[in-house]
Structure 1
Amino acid sequence: MPRRTPRNVLSDRLRTPRTLSGFLKTASICVLIAGCLSPLGQAAAATSAPTAANDYCSGQCSDILPPGENGNATLAQILLNQAFGTQPAHAEDQLGPYANLATGHPGLTDAKINNFFNDASFGVPAGQVASTEKPAGRTDVTIVRDKKTGVPHITGTTRYGTEFGAGYAAGQDRLWLMDVFRHVGRGQLTGFAGGAPANQGLEQEFYRQAPYTEADLQAQIDGAVARNGERGQQALADVTAYLDGINAYIDASDSGRYFPGEYVLTGHKDSITNAGTIDHFKVTDLVALASVVGTLFGSGGGGEVNNALSLIAAQSKYGVEEGTRVWESFRERNDPEAALTLHDGQRFPYATRPDSPQGRALPDAGSVTQEPLVYDRTGSAGTASAKNSSTAVAKDTLSSARRGMSNALVVSGKHTASGHPVAVFGPQTGYFAPQLLMLQEIQGPGISARGASFAGLSMYVELGRGQDYSWSATTSGQDIIDTYAVELCQDDHHYLYRGTCTAMEQVERKNAWKPTVADGTAAGSYAMRVWRTKYGPVQYRATVGGKKVAYTTLRSSYLHEADSIIGFQMLNDPGYVKGPEDFQKAAQHINFTFNWFYADSAHTAYYNSGDNPVRAAGVDAEFPVWAQPAYEWRNWDPAANIADYTPASAHPNSIDQDYYISWNNKQAEAYTAAPWGEGSVHRGDLLDDRVSKLVAQGGVTRTKLVQAMADAALADLRAEDVLPKLLKVVNSAPVSDPTAAAAATKLQTWLSAGAKRTETSAGSKKYADADAIRILDAWWPLLVKAEFEPGLGSDLYGAFTANLPVDEAPSAGHGPTGSHAGSSFQYGWWSYVDKDIRAVLGEPVQGALSRKYCGDGSLSACRDALVGTLKQAAGLTAAQVYPGDDLCSAGDQWCADSIQQRTLGGIKHGNISWQNRPTYQQVVEYTSHR
């Protein structure tokens, strides 16, 4: 079918004066920048709110997004925050309610839901109006902010005015953040925010994956969007108005001297003379922003070179036939025990394993090298400690792994107390200050919605509610990325393209930076270079059968990040979405890889989006293939990067299934192009077990569904689903060693109590069953290594751990999402351990591993390995298990788990207790329909 026509990114602290007198001297600058007031504080109070559009949720729609709506701060506010911890209005007022659900959910009632969420009804009651504003003096749009949250409620009488207001509000709430990410999307962050090492890492990460020129960015607007009929033209008009609103705010904040203080701290503005500029936004900036969002959250697949390396390692150890069986058993392409979002027997074959693979281009052993990106450095780039920067990306990159903690719990009205569907759902975009998402309500001609949008892309609500329906998404991760082996000719920068020796295209970015008040690095510069081919950017070099090749990465959304705007426009249009079928059609216009969920007063629905390429017959999507016409995507046009895509009916989809759950688990049977680790134990099981029980009991309410989500959010997946089998092996004979015996008893006690990572009481900052939690955190990596490395050998064990990390506990700084990220238990070897231990115990296993590993299949030898590592783990102190970092002291278990709002600007917030849940979350139950 033809194509349809974001860890701590800014630093941990400011270089503020060390003395109070020095601080006060610096803070006196605030007199020159609007008397220390933010623009929100200057808005005049209003006595009444505009009339809201029709709202069919009857007060039963709620949402929350920490830490707070206000993501802008003047220089004075930043300095006050750093010196005294004071917070600008609405900067962190959502952090407390969000955090408190961890201990508050057991006593939850419908009446108490909004103690932990906010009323997401349309409009603002007259008594709750904090301010009203006619941005830039326009008469066709009004921005009203409520007292409780400061969320902008934008009401326009014209389409232009409505979108102008949306842009203006975006500038008010996220201007600095938007500026950061338009530079990230171009690989230009260091020149904008300073040369901290993590700044360099972040821009390098994105430039490697999306090395776009300005012409590439503009082509995305001139291409599919502009040519998409009336909706495309409307999208362009909306973008123009939105940009006009952003730029009007830039001009107002500049002349009024209440622009974000980070511009002063990074040398873009002078706090005394007001010299310097804040560049206006243009349409290509929004495409750059979209490319960052798409790369972070909506581009599943890839990893073919790593797959090939682990397959080669398996075949080297076991031989080709047996090694392939071993590899396939760990890959779990279509595991029969996997948790499914569509559990009613539907099958959606995609990227299945071919009987006779064609065109594979596996590298020669030892020949793979990653393509260098940085090729020139001058000055003292990269010499400063990342933690010394406050307005430069520091400590960890935003994209240390594809994030996927988003989850969804949706129950059909047949199983609820009211007879109406109930949904609790939301995306995980990480925890940042300010947050990557922002809340808003937009009411105007052809638009009626409230919810969350990515900052700088908020011309439409991207996740939220309409008049009588709500929608949300989770990252799906199906494979839309392929790796091609292009044979080199002439030299290292020419390749064979359909039989002709063709020059690669060189794209480069040169960045230079000066020292800034907020950045600990000296002046410096460096350059990045990417070689592009028709088959995408070069990522690796290798030889295949002795021939020199470059491995390139091609994704279907490459050069098409802007296309999804049409789908979001439809979701915001009350004239378009009138039921679940319309919702699914809108989602079909989104080319990013997401699972979309829907609920209204009568129906629920699901659709898996993304441009899934139709691959040539015999091509195995798991491995690199030759860059030859026989193995290209069907009807692929390299000039525009468009091809045939699987039809909508072939995407997992459903209406009115009894319930849906998603926690980045497998979508449906035979939908095999998914990340590693979708086996018998998956994070999705934590939701499925709870929701299926509720559905079986019947009478599901909003309260019960929130409690199910919150209970799963505190669960240790390893403990709940794997620990019982491990203890069964350990206790298969008396445990004579007193240390191991005591540890096993503590683990069993914790397991009997529910195996949650919960505080002893709200705010105690200490865990109940702390010793048991410490023991399991220490034991898991030890037991996995003892269980599998002897049988696999060090080389293959290492290759498999490169495909799938062993562990992702809340405190695991070594895990894919790093420390203090909230997201946990997405990536790990829990399924492998579960299947192997059950096999050793003689229990039935569907989709078993190709052999038994623990103790080489001997129960007694397996027990010895587990008891030995359990004793070793029990002997480790809390300080050894939780070694401490720049946030936590060594041994502070609660702090090691805690969630940090990673600073993207100058304002810092406190850390909160660990919860494994979405960042933005809705709780909805509609009572009627249009």
Structure 2
Amino acid sequence: MPLRTPRPTGTSTRTLHAPRTPHARPRHRLKLRAAAATALLALAATLLAPGASHAADGGSDYCGGQCSDILPPGENGNATLADILANKVLGTRPAHTMDQLGPYSSLATGYQGLTDATIDTFFDDSSFGVPAGQVASVTSPRADVTITRDKATGVPHIKGTTRSGTEFGAGYAAAQDRLWLMDLFRHVGRGELSSFAGGAAANRGLEQEFWRQAPYTEDDLQAQIDWLNTNAGDRGRQAMADAQSYIDGINAYITAAKNSRSFPGEYDLTGHVDPITNAGDIEPFKLTDLIALASVIGALFGTGGGGEVQQALSLAAAQQKYGVQEGTKVWESFRERDDPEATSTVHDGSSFPYAGKPADPQGEALPDPGSVVPEPLVHDATGGATQATTKSPGMLPANLFDTPKKGMSNALVVSGAHTASGHPVAVFGPQTGYFAPQLLMLQELQGPGISARGASFAGLGMYVELGRGQDYAWSATSAAQDVTDTYAVRLCQDDTHYLLHGTCVPMEKLERTNSWSPTLADSTPAGSYRMQVWRTAYGPVEYRATVGGTPVAYTQLRSSYMHEADSIIGFQELNDPGFVHDAASFQKAAQDINYTFNWFYADSRQIAYYNSGTNPVRAPGVDPSFPVWGTGPYDWQGFDPAHNTADYTPPAQHPQSIDQDYYVSWNNKQAPGYTAAGFGDGSVHRADLLEDRVKALVRAGGVTRASLTEAMEDAALTDLRGEDLLPDLLQVIGSAPVTDPQEAAAVRALTAWQAHGAKRTETSAGSHTYADADAVRIMDAWWPLLVQGEFRPGLGGDLYDALAASLTVDESPSAGHGPTGAHAGSSFQYGWWSYTDKDLRRVLGEPVQGPLAQAYCGGGQLAACRDMLLATLKQAAAVPASTLYPGDDSGCAAGDQWCADSIVQRPLGGITDDRISWQNRPTFQQVVEFPAHR
């Protein structure tokens, strides 16, 4: 990389406290004296290590132009009222609102034949700094920081001469790009979205979902800040100082933007500011807002476990069907706690036992049949709150986050021993959904103790959370190991008191009242309602029930509860070039992240993996899959209810590895012995699509950035059912001649589709028509029918429904009923793939490790199984596309298969962006290969 000329000390292009119309062009140019420039170049040359370059206004960069990233739809997430109106009337958008969406989308039809030289056709160069000819603007919101934006993407490159200035600039840039989104989410985290943005059903649903999980008071939020200041040492105090400077930067932008009316137009539309007089306020941010924001992000992507009551109900259904002994055996076979056929990220022969089934379970508190009642959250609804539906979508979509089961990120990392260059290669990133604007934002931070570029969640950008440093890169996937348990507390005196270690104590009543009036953005009639949660020492109450006739409240206890911001220490370390310098120091930083993530690392010499999270040490004999008594003996070891702390498993017991031949992760099993928090880690998993492709590349050797990206994208376009299950299905069907013409035609279509790679791809770029469209339609219709035909007769209706409640049967791209909702991109994470695979192989007489307890397809008889498959196949083939893809309010017409699968950038404000073809890949993604190291 060519040497860039740094700006001399004292040279300023500041626009003090000036707001920015999003990504406006600068009116001034940087001027340097030739002598000063020459002297600085000479000085820089003596400081650079071999292999390093010094980016313009950036830190030392060892990537040599071989680091790329992408984050659709675009960096700019702010639009004035005039911008919003122009978008609605004329279809125009502010600059950099959607400029990363096109390259991201086009990889689906352009990945074959990809070369290292053409990668940046589909990704952006993520080198540090901005070349002089690419500078779009330079802003200095205060004397110790500059924000330089590039012409290509508008990404802010923030450089501070002081650490406080760097963080101030990060906050200022974040507000420039995501102020409205940040404001929305601090209100979501506080359970106050409807009062802030209107009472539409969508807004109410979101605040209810998140406030139930983290019903914090203002004192609770402040206590988490105090904890870091008091208990996290120098780094904790530094983190809080950084956060305060970040907040100061946000507020500086709010003041400047309000004075010049360049703030987001959504404030006008929701009545917070008068569009004519400018009267009204944008509430300044404070440190506790960051805790509220963190609670939302943590609940979405960084937790795991819970659901023990539902699992107890499905166990009861199994025992009712088969008897206690056989029913338990059947249930365990579907639970697949440690399936020997599951693809694991760690595959070097090591194991990491955690959360497994104890030999002699202790303390179980299983509910009496029919006694479980969910704890009501909403009370005293009036006016618009009593409406079941509304035509107004609200400021956030109703199905923004349909489930806490978030698993959409992936990673492909190959050791240098198997690459063409001898240096590791990584293609990895988080899948945080598709929104306009994105939940994430891009930034580069350069300042004392900070040197990184990448993505951060809007409002939490004190540090880069996923990205690259000077000579290393890192990323994450959601891990969701079991860090949440359900406790049964005995009620005493009345429904709001419980026994805590033998003493009858009152539950804490937490309330939040929201009221609203119609606005320009939300026409929901005026209304109000109250949310109410009862909290115990074992967490908030979720259900009421009886256990052996004794009234109980079931509570949910999460290890990161009351510690939403603790992970800031780990992120601070990942951004510190003095801390991370190799795989071991990377793992040490990841150990300081208390949320449940799989972390991946690559530099020029090493690759590494570490599973983070505060994994509680459970009492001996406790089975984490079921509720246990909250009476003391079955508490987490070392449990302190006053601060929600406990003893946690030491780092050595977390799944981890350095320099394995390769790593893949698509939210799959971490390592042998490491039990998943829920159902679904079996013989067929979405991660197999990556595993098979990367393993083949490694065996061949000579892996490049291009070939690893191709492998990722090929998997991203493949129907898991078609690649890994259709061969079994066709083998059963092919055990005898198919004589029915309709059945034979369907078999031919599916066979051809399988031969073509079982892809869901357009016939050509922009055709909006699938190749093998009929086969795709048949599979979409057939899968739920064949699963029901295979398992429901043997399991019976009650048990089948109970198991389907724990693990959804299907998650095809067009499945609006799936965990991620329609038009979300992520697919095939959850489904009965493994159950079907194991059962069919058993029917075929093939060996199965970890089989289901009983045979189901045709009662285990090949001929009967075949008859069922053909009958359901014929039924599926007759389902018209207009029925299977019925059209929806996103603009898809009935029968439009491509549109039904397509990804929609769900609007989080007033600007909308284009839909794109389905791809099952991360939202933010990096492609990296470092040729040099410090």
- TM (norm. structure 2) is 0.95
Q: Does 1:649 align with 2:652?
A: yes
Partner of 2:90: 84
Partner of 2:173: 169
CA contact (8 A) 1:384 1:520 kept: no
CA contact (8 A) 2:402 2:821 kept: no
Partner of 2:504: 501
Matches within 5 A, 1:334-413: 334-381=338-385, 383=387, 385-386=389-390, 388-389=392-393, 392-413=395-416
Equivalent AA in structure 2 for residue 815 of structure 1? G
1:158 to 159, 162, 167: 162
Distance in 2 between residues matched to 1:46 and 1:157, nearest whole Å = 20
Question: 1:352, CA displacement in angstroms?
Answer: 1.2
CA contact (8 A) 1:55 1:468 kept: yes
Superposition misfits of 4+ residues, deviation over 3 angstroms: 42-51, 384-387
Distance in 1 between residues matched to 2:172 and 2:236, nearest whole Å = 22
1:252 to 256, 259, 266: 256
CA contact (8 A) 1:225 1:563 kept: no
Question: 1:883, CA displacement in angstroms?
Answer: 0.8
Partner of 1:218: 222
Distance in 2 between residues matched to 1:393 and 1:370, nearest whole Å = 26
Which stretch of structure 1 is more off in the superposition, 398-407 or 770-779?
A: 398-407
Partner of 1:530: 533
Partner of 1:195: 199
Residues 535-561 of structure 1 deviation map (CA, whole Å, 9 limit, x = unaligned): 000000111001111000000000001
Q: Does 1:688 align with 2:691?
A: yes
Partner of 1:12: none
Q: Does 1:553 align with 2:559?
A: no
Question: 1:738, CA displacement in angstroms?
Answer: 1.2
Partner of 1:424: 427
Residues 297-331 of structure 1 deviation map (CA, whole Å, 9 limit, x = unaligned): 00011110010000000000100000000000000
Question: 1:37, CA displacement in angstroms?
Answer: 8.2
Partner of 1:663: 666
Equivalent AA in structure 1 for residue 557 of structure 2? L
Partner of 2:807: 804
Matches within 5 A, 1:681-720: 681-720=684-723
Equivalent AA in structure 2 for residue 44 of structure 1? R
Partner of 2:866: 863
Secondary structure of residue in 2 paired with 1:106: coil
Q: Does 1:62 align with 2:49?
A: no
Against the structure 1 CA distance between its residues 712 and 738, is the aligned structure 2 distance closer, same or farther, given a 3 Å change threshold?
same
Secondary structure of residue in 1 paired with 2:495: strand
Q: Does 1:772 align with 2:775?
A: yes
Distance in 1 between residues matched to 2:479 and 2:106, nearest whole Å = 29
Equivalent AA in structure 1 for residue 369 of structure 2? A
- TM (norm. structure 1) is 0.95
Residues 634-689 of structure 1 deviation map (CA, whole Å, 9 limit, x = unaligned): 01000000000000000001100000000000000000133311000000100000
Question: 1:693, CA displacement in angstroms?
Answer: 0.4
Distance in 2 between residues matched to 1:644 and 1:401, nearest whole Å = 25
Equivalent AA in structure 1 for residue 727 of structure 2? P
Secondary structure of residue in 2 paired with 1:471: strand
Partner of 2:9: none
CA contact (8 A) 1:168 1:248 kept: yes
CA contact (8 A) 1:196 1:382 kept: no
Equivalent AA in structure 1 for residue 542 of structure 2? Q
Partner of 2:3: none
Distance in 2 between residues matched to 1:674 and 1:192, nearest whole Å = 35
Distance in 1 between residues matched to 2:750 and 2:402, nearest whole Å = 34
Equivalent AA in structure 1 for residue 411 of structure 2? A
Secondary structure of residue in 2 paired with 1:745: helix
Matches within 5 A, 1:70-469: 70-135=76-141, 138-381=142-385, 383=387, 385-386=389-390, 388-389=392-393, 392-469=395-472
Equivalent AA in structure 2 for residue 83 of structure 1? V
1:630 to 630, 633, 640: 633
Residues 316-349 of structure 1 deviation map (CA, whole Å, 9 limit, x = unaligned): 0100000000000000000000000001111000
CA contact (8 A) 1:383 1:521 kept: no
Question: 1:42, CA displacement in angstroms?
Answer: 6.0
Partner of 1:17: none
Distance in 2 between residues matched to 1:518 and 1:335, nearest whole Å = 50
Equivalent AA in structure 2 for residue 181 of structure 1? F
Against the structure 1 CA distance between its residues 788 and 384, is the aligned structure 2 distance closer, same or farther, given a 3 Å change threshold?
closer
Residues 585-606 of structure 1 deviation map (CA, whole Å, 9 limit, x = unaligned): 0000000000000000000000
Residues 835-868 of structure 1 deviation map (CA, whole Å, 9 limit, x = unaligned): 0000011111100000110001111111111000
Secondary structure of residue in 1 paired with 2:713: helix
CA contact (8 A) 1:387 1:395 kept: no
Equivalent AA in structure 1 for residue 319 of structure 2? Q
Partner of 2:831: 828
Distance in 2 between residues matched to 1:744 and 1:388, nearest whole Å = 45
2:577 to 565, 574, 578: 574
CA contact (8 A) 2:570 2:592 kept: yes
Distance in 2 between residues matched to 1:598 and 1:613, nearest whole Å = 25
CA contact (8 A) 2:206 2:398 kept: no
Question: 1:230, CA displacement in angstroms?
Answer: 1.2
Q: Does 1:789 align with 2:792?
A: yes
Distance in 2 between residues matched to 1:377 and 1:854, nearest whole Å = 49
Which stretch of structure 1 is more off in the superposition, 371-380 or 913-922?
A: 371-380
Number of residues of Structure 1 aligned to a counterpart in Structure 2: 894
2:909 to 883, 887, 905: 905
Equivalent AA in structure 1 for residue 127 of structure 2? S
Question: 1:732, CA displacement in angstroms?
Answer: 1.1
2:58 to 25, 32, 52: 52
Question: 1:520, CA displacement in angstroms?
Answer: 2.3
Percent of aligned positions with the same letter in both sequences? 70
Question: 1:373, CA displacement in angstroms?
Answer: 0.1
Distance in 2 between residues matched to 1:583 and 1:641, nearest whole Å = 27
Partner of 2:45: none
Q: Does 1:41 align with 2:27?
A: no
Distance in 2 between residues matched to 1:179 and 1:323, nearest whole Å = 50
Equivalent AA in structure 2 for residue 612 of structure 1? N
Question: 1:43, CA displacement in angstroms?
Answer: 4.3
Question: 1:375, CA displacement in angstroms?
Answer: 1.1
CA contact (8 A) 1:39 1:253 kept: no
Equivalent AA in structure 2 for residue 67 of structure 1? P
Secondary structure of residue in 2 paired with 1:184: helix
Against the structure 1 CA distance between its residues 620 and 37, is the aligned structure 2 distance closer, same or farther, given a 3 Å change threshold?
closer
Equivalent AA in structure 2 for residue 38 of structure 1? T
Distance in 2 between residues matched to 1:664 and 1:129, nearest whole Å = 39
Secondary structure of residue in 1 paired with 2:352: strand
Residues 791-810 of structure 1 deviation map (CA, whole Å, 9 limit, x = unaligned): 00000000000000000000
Question: 1:228, CA displacement in angstroms?
Answer: 1.4
Distance in 2 between residues matched to 1:789 and 1:623, nearest whole Å = 25
Partner of 2:842: 839
CA contact (8 A) 1:804 1:829 kept: yes
Q: Does 1:544 align with 2:547?
A: yes
Distance in 1 between residues matched to 2:455 and 2:66, nearest whole Å = 18
CA contact (8 A) 1:197 1:394 kept: no
Question: 1:731, CA displacement in angstroms?
Answer: 1.6
Distance in 2 between residues matched to 1:40 and 1:921, nearest whole Å = 23
Secondary structure of residue in 1 paired with 2:345: coil
Q: CA RMSD in A?
A: 1.3
Runs of 5+ consecutive residues of structure 1 not aligned to the other structure: 1-34
Distance in 2 between residues matched to 1:409 and 1:776, nearest whole Å = 28
Distance in 2 between residues matched to 1:813 and 1:174, nearest whole Å = 28
Secondary structure of residue in 2 paired with 1:173: helix
Secondary structure of residue in 2 paired with 1:493: strand
